[in-house]
Structure 1
């Protein structure tokens, strides 16, 4: 089984181009047995979950795309999908744009896609050097994310095959070996998903590049429980992603009893509040999407919010730099606070750090704690008191 990755690809291409293989793969392969249907369903569930965790995407590469088993799912998460497979017979069983190509020489430039999707391929490579070369190619063409699968040798299914002496074209490896090979390719494992942990060989992983073309991925805002980073997609669009986290056990316990057990996460609440405020004509950053990670008990462990990238300083930073807002900006700020109160919104965050100084006037952000009340008069009094205290603190009264 030794040889280069291209030698191994030639064998695989011959196997999948054999008469009837591609037709069976697109038809009965994932529907004929209960086990096949269950595996298909769980693989899609993990792929969908990891796609959500990766956030907004512009271009996805599906290699090998096979007969398009994941095409519909991938198309719902990105406006552009590139489908590539080295088997001509497989490509002939699917519709839509596709191209013939192999993972050893992906016909794309560096950082040309936002996510590379590689399902049920790595376990066909017996040599570590072959898998590292495949992972390196995926890392080369992806700006940040890779979703892949491999077979774990430390499970009951792999152990049974070894005991029975069964020969197979599947080559499982240990989780430690896979992580080491991924790191050598410039990738780190972010999440793992199991078809049947301890029983099935199949493991689905979300990988992230350790470095991008501009350096290491780092947030430009970092607090104990949240961080914000800017992400630029392969299509040139940029957005901000805010991540809420509870790193300390005490904070997790506090959050669990306060608001996160089987209730909306902070990212979801902020997303919905931003949508409502925009509908009411209040100038806030435009929300794009939100996603979360919960444990098996329903507690939120992490949540993310994606918004438009507004390149502007907040009012607090603007003033600390020695600048003074214009009279027109200050009047617009007062009017926006009045509009928030008239809409019955108890903002709970009318702070200078939560409003941006833009050429078009003030733009509010971070309304995660905002609530919509039935009594606008009491809301107005509370907001006015909070706003006056902030103005006094800034020395603008």
Structure 2
């Protein structure tokens, strides 16, 4: 996986949420959580695995809504932040954080109802292998996002600390076919790049987001969206 050393640094984990999901980044956080909840549906008593759970943004949210959740991440520092977040939210009894490798998941086949991987596939050096492993442990659903090749992100991708793997729609379609997954739904969003939202105050980001959303509703611009949220089912 790209950027493993950078991602596991203590200072990166401590500042991760503030740098990405404060200011205008709060709009990104809200939209990503909405995408996950829309895809997963009712969560009561559902067994969920989150790959690359980081500081537990989604893990804690899912546990708060009644799911039994396991969050797996390679970074011990990120997991420490997640455990503290779960304790503050009073859901520590409903989830478990594990350190592990997404390429070798420590679970038996068909162990979870749903497997989620957000902010992960742009770092994957072998996306097919990772997706195949997620498919192995899921008995029903896999939800993930990708950053898209024909988007504004491609303009500044070289400047990011570890770069990003960018995907076309056709490339994801091939991945799904190879791993025996059926596409149930895909949502495309954010014509403007994430980095712009994170760099400006929320008061300025909100009207930009409104304009972005309005233009994004036009079918012709789907292929230029920065991110796609994929909802897939096990065949």
Q: How far apart are residue 16 of structure 1 and its match?
A: 1.3
1:175 has 2:163 as partner: no
Pairing partner for 2:33 from 30, 37, 44:
44
Distance 1:47 1:192 in 2: 11
SS of residue in 1 equivalent to 2:49: strand
Q: Contact 2:124–2:130 (CA<8 Å) still a contact in 1?
A: no
Distance 1:176 1:77 in 2: 34
Q: Contact 2:52–2:117 (CA<8 Å) still a contact in 1?
A: yes
CA deviation digits over 1:289-348, x for unaligned, max 9? xxxxxxxxxxxxxxxxxxxxxxxxxxxxxxxxxxxxxxxxxxxxxxxxxxxxxxxxxxxx
CA deviation digits over 1:331-368, x for unaligned, max 9? xxxxxxxxxxxxxxxxxxxxxxxxxxxxxxxxxxxxxx
Q: Aligned residue pairs: how many?
A: 192
Flag the 1:139–1:22 CA change in 2: closer, same or farther, 3 A.
same
Q: Contact 1:30–1:37 (CA<8 Å) still a contact in 2?
A: yes
- Look at both structures and tell me which one has the larger radius of gyration over its CA atoms: 1
SS of residue in 2 equivalent to 1:70: helix
Q: How far apart are residue 12 of structure 1 and its match?
A: 3.3
Given the two structures, how large is their TM-score scaled by the length of structure 1? 0.45
Indicate the residue corresponding to 2:113 in structure 1: 114
Q: Contact 2:59–2:70 (CA<8 Å) still a contact in 1?
A: no
Distance 1:176 1:91 in 2: 34
SS of residue in 1 equivalent to 2:163: coil
Q: Contact 2:52–2:73 (CA<8 Å) still a contact in 1?
A: yes
Where do 5+ consecutive residues of structure 1 fail to align?
1-7, 211-397
Q: Contact 1:151–1:203 (CA<8 Å) still a contact in 2?
A: yes
Where do 5+ consecutive residues of structure 2 fail to align?
84-91, 191-215
Q: How far apart are residue 125 of structure 1 and its match?
A: 2.3
Flag the 1:94–1:174 CA change in 2: closer, same or farther, 3 A.
same
1:145 has 2:136 as partner: no
SS of residue in 2 equivalent to 1:23: helix
Pairing partner for 1:84 from 65, 72, 81:
72
- The structure that is helix-richer by fraction is 2
> What RMSD in Å do the two structures reach over aligned CA positions?
2.1
Indicate the residue corresponding to 1:104 in structure 2: 103
Q: How far apart are residue 94 of structure 1 and its match?
A: 1.8
1:203 has 2:228 as partner: yes
1:65 has 2:64 as partner: no
Q: Any runs of at least 4 consecutive aligned residues in structure 1 with deviations exceeding 6 A, and if so which?
A: none
Q: Comparing both chains, which one has the higher relative contact order based on Cα–Cα distances under 8 Å and sequence gaps of 6 or more?
A: 2
Distance 1:177 1:77 in 2: 33
